[in-house]
């Protein structure tokens, strides 16, 4: 069908000769080497756009992120380790980003701790216990849940989780725990579906061999399937963590946006993404605060790259 | 004996995990839908939002979301499909290819707020387009490209080899084989992927915050002249999308019916995303059946 369509739309040959092939311009079309090079050109341009995008993002964000150190003369070390973020203080404004870096890492780790066991358990359930049902019903449902926008998770957190924490643990409810829970729930389907894929790719012969020597279902799962799926399971969790780390609005809605270091998980906190989300719109372009925010963005970018390297390393080891 | 007991316990824990996951997600989604559906009405969908008073709707936001989505797709699909074709057909194993592959990977795993910051830097500030539909769509293009590239590459790779060989054996050039044989054959899987990614783009918010803005000018839906500042088609006006609206209403909104508006918008958003998903599945299934039925 597609062939006919494209032929019908072809420009007819200028010099109509007797041959049917020539009349329809087929020979020209089939042997038109310009078309080949034209197509190739389009393809190569598209591919190089990918490189341009990555290089441009890295380059521009780096240059912009270094402004606060180069032009505004902030000290890198005190920027990363300082705990006081008072950019609008009249005398001696201070830019200490450590609370945000800490908050980001805390939310990422806590959400992974919350999500990983449940997600891996669910993946095992889908692939090992109820194979047919898992593949037919659970997998599509989980894939649909992956697509639910993060703002919706944030809203749910705001209207369910925050009041819940407020009622049972005191405080305002806006806390590190609320942020981690929201992000943890958000990455559950992602981790579960990737983990299920990796468990599914474990060859059945391994399981059969295990059953044949008299292992129970659990022994097979624990001693054979999980080690065999090993590094790809970890990849799934790391992917979830990198998503948790980069999440902005959902966290911002529930985490409380305090500028100090949280002392417990029930304290409000802030992360790199939330402070950027909140302050970027209110700061003038070119001011010290604005430059400091870009520097936070640069830190965000660098940690994202670290995640990418870890994931690459893990998947390389899997192949080897 | 004891191994049997452990087996029992462990399996129950696994089942419990599955129940927790499905239960939590179903409960939360159900909560949003139940809370939100009651506030959805024809009036809610078709009246403009109000900055202070109760009773505002989401007409402009809904339109903005769709408009940004359409422009993003117009930009992404050709580039993404071509990029995918490069990786599947033209790329020779080597340094350049693995570099492009890493680039796709990097683009796919960058946090969307980083993409948004990049969009702000380049499109909003450097090109001077301010907060606009076009800036937002370009940022989302960066965000969506890797998805389409992967979908296309997978679609091409899953094609049987003999189709390509058949085309080449007829004397077609490589590009012609791709254009007339491989692309139509891979089309169903690519289309499914595109619709799925559309759902993702539709719900994206962090990348749009600094590129499409938090406000919408008063739109006049009878003015379809794209250069008029109040036209819905104007690409250089700021455009708050539905998901950004949910966020901004909750964080800085001063209207009295925040909850109603937020829940209603969230329900609309979730329903749209679900529709995209179901639609993608239906399309995939339909084309699949058609193709296999023709054999």
How does the average pLDDT of chain B come out, rounded?
A: 86
Residue A287's pLDDT band (boundaries 50, 70, 90)? confident
- Contact residues for A35 (Cβ-Cβ < 8 A; gap 6+): A29, B173, B175, B176
A156, B31 Cβ separation under 8 angstroms = yes
Cβ contact A273–B113 (<8 Å): yes
Q: Supply angle C-alpha B11, B15, B21, rounded to 5.
A: 145
Instruction: Provide the pLDDT for residue A13.
Output: 45
Q: What total number of domains does chain A contain?
A: 1
Q: Looking at the complex, does the CB of residue B113 fall below 8 Å from at least one CB of chain A? A: yes
Cβ contact A249–B100 (<8 Å): no
- B48 phi-psi bin (left φ>0, alpha ψ -120 to 50, beta other): beta
Cβ contact B7–A219 (<8 Å): yes
pLDDT at A156 over 60: yes
Secondary structure of B215-272 as H, E, C letters: CCCCCCCCCCCCCCCCCCCCCCCCCCCHHHHHHHHHHHCCCCCHHHHHHHHHHHHHHH
How does the average pLDDT of chain A come out, rounded?
A: 84
List the domain range (segments joined by +) for residue A116: 98-278
Chain B residue closest in CA terms to A256:
B251
CA distance B179 to chain A (A): 9
Q: Which residue has the tokens 């590009």?
A: B175
What span, in angstroms and rounded, lies between the C-alpha atoms of A37 and A45? Answer: 12
Q: Looking at the complex, does the CB of residue B101 fall below 8 Å from at least one CB of chain A? A: no
What span, in angstroms and rounded, lies between the C-alpha atoms of B63 and A198? Answer: 40
- B171 phi-psi bin (left φ>0, alpha ψ -120 to 50, beta other): left
Among residues 66-105 of chain A, which lie with CB inside 8 Å of chain B?
Answer: none
Residue A4's pLDDT band (boundaries 50, 70, 90)? very low
In a domain, A253, yes or no: yes
Q: What is the mean pLDDT of residues B79-83?
A: 93
- Substitution target from B102, B114, B211 for chain A, most A beta carbons within 10 A: B114
**Measured CA distances, B200 to A48, A245, B122, B132 (Å):** 24, 18, 23, 20
CATH number of the domain at A209, please: 1.10.3720.10
pLDDT at B79 over 90: yes
Cβ contact A36–B176 (<8 Å): yes
In a domain, A76, yes or no: no
In a domain, A168, yes or no: yes
Q: What is the mean pLDDT of residues A31-38?
A: 72
Q: Which residue has the tokens 């407020």?
A: A166
Cβ contact B82–A43 (<8 Å): yes
pLDDT at B84 over 70: yes
Q: Looking at the complex, does the CB of residue A287 fall below 8 Å from at least one CB of chain B? A: no
H-type helices in B86-159, by residue range? 95-109, 112-119, 133-157
Among residues 135-174 of chain A, which lie with CB inside 8 Å of chain B?
Answer: 138, 140-145, 147-156, 158-160
Instruction: Provide the pLDDT for residue A130.
Output: 82
A36, B175 Cβ separation under 8 angstroms = yes
User: In 3-state terms, what secondary structure has residue A269?
Assistant: strand
For B195-231, how does the pLDDT look when each residue is reduced to its tens digit (9 = 90+)?
889 988 998 888 898 898 888 888 888 878 888 878 8
Chain A residue closest in CA terms to B278:
A144
Record the tokens describing residue B285, joined without a space: 């299934």
Cβ contact B110–A246 (<8 Å): yes
Q: Which domains does chain B have, with CATH numbers?
A: 40-294 (1.10.3720.10)
Residue B72's pLDDT band (boundaries 50, 70, 90)? very high
In chain A, % of residues over pLDDT 90: 28
Cβ contact B18–A138 (<8 Å): yes
A300, A276 Cβ separation under 8 angstroms = yes
Instruction: Provide the pLDDT for residue A54.
Output: 93
Q: What ipTM did this prediction achieve?
A: 0.87
């Amino acid at each position: 069908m597609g062939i006919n369509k494209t032929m019908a739309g072809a420009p007819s040959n200028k010099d109509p000769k007797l041959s049917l092939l020539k009349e329809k311009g087929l020979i020209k079309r089939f042997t038109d080497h310009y078309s080949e090079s034209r197509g190739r050109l389009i393809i190569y341009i598209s591919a190089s756009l990918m490189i341009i995008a990555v290089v441009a993002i890295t380059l521009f964000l780096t240059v912009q992120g270094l402004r606060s150190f180069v032009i505004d003369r902030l000290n890198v070390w005190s920027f990363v380790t300082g705990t006081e973020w008072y950019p609008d203080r009249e005398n001696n404004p201070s830019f200490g980003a450590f609370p945000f870096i800490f908050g980001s890492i805390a939310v990422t780790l806590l959400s992974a701790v919350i999500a990983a066991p449940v997600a891996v358990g669910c993946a095992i359930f889908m692939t090992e216990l109820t194979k047919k049902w898992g593949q037919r019903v659970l997998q599509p449902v989980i894939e649909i849940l992956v697509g639910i926008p993060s703002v919706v998770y944030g809203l749910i957190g705001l209207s369910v989780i925050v009041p819940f924490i407020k009622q049972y643990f005191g405080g305002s409810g806006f806390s590190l725990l609320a942020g981690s829970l929201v992000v943890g729930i958000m990455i559950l389907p992602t981790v579960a579906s990737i983990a299920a894929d990796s468990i599914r790719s474990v060859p059945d012969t391994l399981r059969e061999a295990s059953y044949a020597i008299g292992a129970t279902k659990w022994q097979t799962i624990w001693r054979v399937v999980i080690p065999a799926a090993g590094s790809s399971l970890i990849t799934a969790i790391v992917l979830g963590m990198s998503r948790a780390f980069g999440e902005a609005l959902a966290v911002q809605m529930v985490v409380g946006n305090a500028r100090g270091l949280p002392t417990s998980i029930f304290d409000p906190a802030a992360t790199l993404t939330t402070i950027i989300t909140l302050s970027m719109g209110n700061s003038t372009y070119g001011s010290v605060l604005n430059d400091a925010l870009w520097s936070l963005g640069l830190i965000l970018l660098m940690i994202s790259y670290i995640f990418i390297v870890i994931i690459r390393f893990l998947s390389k080891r899997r192949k080897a | 004996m004891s191994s049997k007991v452990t087996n029992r316990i462990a399996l129950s824990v696994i089942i419990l995990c599955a129940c927790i996951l499905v239960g939590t997600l179903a409960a939360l989604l159900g909560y949003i839908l139940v809370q939100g559906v009651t506030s959805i009405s024809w009036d809610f969908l078709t009246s403009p939002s109000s900055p202070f008073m109760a009773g505002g709707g989401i007409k402009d936001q809904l339109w903005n979301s769709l408009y940004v989505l359409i422009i993003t797709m117009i930009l992404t699909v050709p580039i993404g499909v071509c990029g995918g074709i490069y990786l599947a057909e033209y790329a020779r194993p080597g340094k350049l290819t693995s570099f492009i592959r890493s680039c796709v990977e990097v683009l796919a795993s960058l946090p969307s707020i980083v993409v948004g910051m990049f969009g702000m830097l380049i499109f909003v500030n450097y090109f001077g387009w301010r907060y606009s539909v076009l800036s937002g769509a370009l940022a989302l293009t960066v965000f969506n490209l890797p998805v389409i590239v992967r979908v296309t590459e997978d679609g091409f790779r899953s094609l049987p080899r003999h189709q390509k060989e058949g085309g080449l054996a007829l004397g077609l050039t490589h590009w012609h084989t791709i254009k007339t044989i491989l692309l139509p054959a891979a089309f169903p899987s690519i289309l499914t992927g595109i619709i799925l990614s559309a759902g993702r783009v539709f719900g994206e918010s962090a990348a749009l915050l600094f590129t499409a803005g938090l406000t919408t000018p008063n739109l006049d839906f009878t003015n379809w002249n794209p250069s008029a500042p109040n036209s819905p088609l104007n690409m250089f006006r700021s455009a708050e999308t539905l998901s950004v609206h949910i966020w901004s209403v909750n964080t800085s909104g001063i209207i009295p019916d925040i909850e109603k508006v937020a829940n209603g918008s969230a329900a609309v958003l979730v329903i749209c995303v679900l529709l995209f998903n179901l639609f993608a599945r239906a399309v995939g299934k339909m084309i699949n059946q058609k193709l296999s039925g023709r054999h």
